[in-house]
Amino acid sequence: MSNEFIPAAKPIVGDEERAAVDAVLVSGMLAQGAEVAEFEKEFSDVLLDGRGAVAVNSGTAGLHLGLLAAGIGPGDEVIVPSFTFAATANSVALTGATPVFADIELDHYCLDVDHVGSLITERTRGIMPVHLYGHPADLTAFRALADQRGIALFEDAAQAHGASFDGQQVGTFGDFAMFSLYPTKNMTSGEGGMVSTGDAGIERRLRLLRNQGMERQYENELVGFNARMTNLHAAIGRVQLTKVGGWTAQRQSNAAFLTENIQGVVPPAVAEAAVHVYHQYTVRVEEDRDGFAAALKDEYNIGSGVYYPIPNHRLPSFDRKEDLPNTEIAAREVLSLPVHPSLDTEDLDRIVTAVNALAKAGA
């Protein structure tokens, strides 16, 4: 058996992406143009059941502009998980609104619907669940809760390309949803984000906000940003879009193998109505998670990741005092094992052997 390092993530880019970028370079049309428009159409067809899609230059910009386009601003509250990447709450704070942190459910690490319900006040304008690790939040319940309370639903689908809930694709439930196209995500454009919305007003404002507030050149209608995606990035994304379905199936098959064979750690659960796309395969190590991760690397040459060791509400940038017990357990115990589509059966066997040996030894 080889002892080559198995990385926690491995972006796959090859000759087709290189040829696509080269064609854009040769065309001389580097900035946002026809490639971006095609990428938006194709992303919508493949992943959004035809819903509107607007490409931007990062997932974070997508969340920020989406919130602004939905009218979120100072004095408003948006309920978010604390157990997520900081971009979720940052994007709310950057609009001038206040992120209100809710707890998660421990089995799948997504927002707890009941806790979110208890935090809604007269200032709450929206709920933003995160489909963490590629597992969809309970979108049926969140859509119903938002409608019942007259507030908006925003999806942070950064990690969940192709996931679905109750047979419906993520990104088609919310007033808007954002998919990240960062290199370690299930598909990439190098850097980038895609925002989906079924609301024509939000879509138009998104298109204005990403381009200095202009639809027609030098006729700025509102104060905007330069958050445009380039044709170079869109060309990479278009190729990746043709492959993401196959990669997802491979991730799901790798995850099924791991769940069947690992012992002594808590495997990821999947809600009955959910299709999980395993951006991460995240287990809980109940004793000494950090020692376990160090031993995986030092003794078995296997990478892993902790997403996320410090909940957002305790980061110096927010410094809040909320009591979020499941969030604290998750931050202390989660460990993401390699699940990416480049793993072969030998890699998977090595991961199982290492995890089972370390769990048995109590790390």
Ligand X SMILES: Cc1ncc(COP(=O)(O)O)c(C=O)c1O
Q: Is 327 in the site for ligand X (CB under 6 A)?
A: no
Using the contact rule CB under 6 A, the part of the chain among 1-9, 94-102, 156-164, 341-349 near ligand X is 156-164
The least CB distance from residue 327 to ligand X, in Å, is 14
**Rounded CA Rg of the chain:** 20
Which residues contact residue 28 at a Cβ distance below 8 angstroms, ignoring those fewer than 6 apart? none
What is the residue whose two structure tokens read 């026809």?
34
- Candidate list 185, 243, 297, 360, residue with the active-site label: 185
For residue 126, give Cα distances in angstroms to 20, 81, 129, 141.
39, 13, 10, 14
The interface mask with ligand X, positions 183-202, x = CB under 6 A, is ----------x---------
Q: Residue type at 16?
A: E
Q: Which of 113, 120, 158, 274 binds ligand X (CB under 6 A)?
A: 158
Distances (CA, A) of 8 to 202, 297, 358: 37, 10, 18
What's the CA angle centered on 176, arms 171 and 182, to 5 degrees?
Answer: 65
First to last CA, the chain: 22
- Between CA 140 and CA 165 the distance in angstroms is 8
Q: Which is nearer to ligand X, 173 or 300 (CB)?
A: 173
88 binds ligand X (CB under 6 A): yes
Place of tokens 């208890």: 118
Site size toward ligand X, by CB under 6 A: 14
Contact between 90 and ligand X per CB under 6 A: no
Residue from 65, 87, 92, 206 in contact with ligand X (CB under 6 A): 87
Segment near ligand X (CB under 6 A); pick from 56-64, 94-102, 147-155, 266-274: 56-64
Stretch that binds ligand X, among 80-88, 200-208, 209-217, 333-341 (CB under 6 A): 80-88
Q: Looking up tokens 């589509």, which residue turns up?
A: 341
Q: Which of residues 117-136 bind ligand X (CB under 6 A)?
A: 130
Q: What is the DSSP letter of 268?
A: P
180 binds ligand X (CB under 6 A): yes
The span from the CA of 303 to the CA of 129, in Å, is 28
- Using the rule CB under 6 A, give the single segment among 55-63, 121-129, 146-154, 331-339 that binds ligand X: 55-63
Strand partners, 78: 99, 126
Which of 79/158 has CB closer to ligand X?
Answer: 158
321 is a catalytic site residue? no
CB of 160 to ligand X, least distance (A): 9
Q: Are the C-beta atoms of 83 and 132 separated by less than 8 Å?
A: yes
Q: What is the DSSP letter of 313?
A: G
Toward ligand X, which CB reaches closer, 88 or 248?
88
Q: Does 236 contact ligand X by CB under 6 A? A: no
- Residue numbers annotated as active site: 185
Binding site for ligand X (CB under 6 A): 58-60, 84-85, 87-88, 130, 156, 158-159, 180, 182, 193
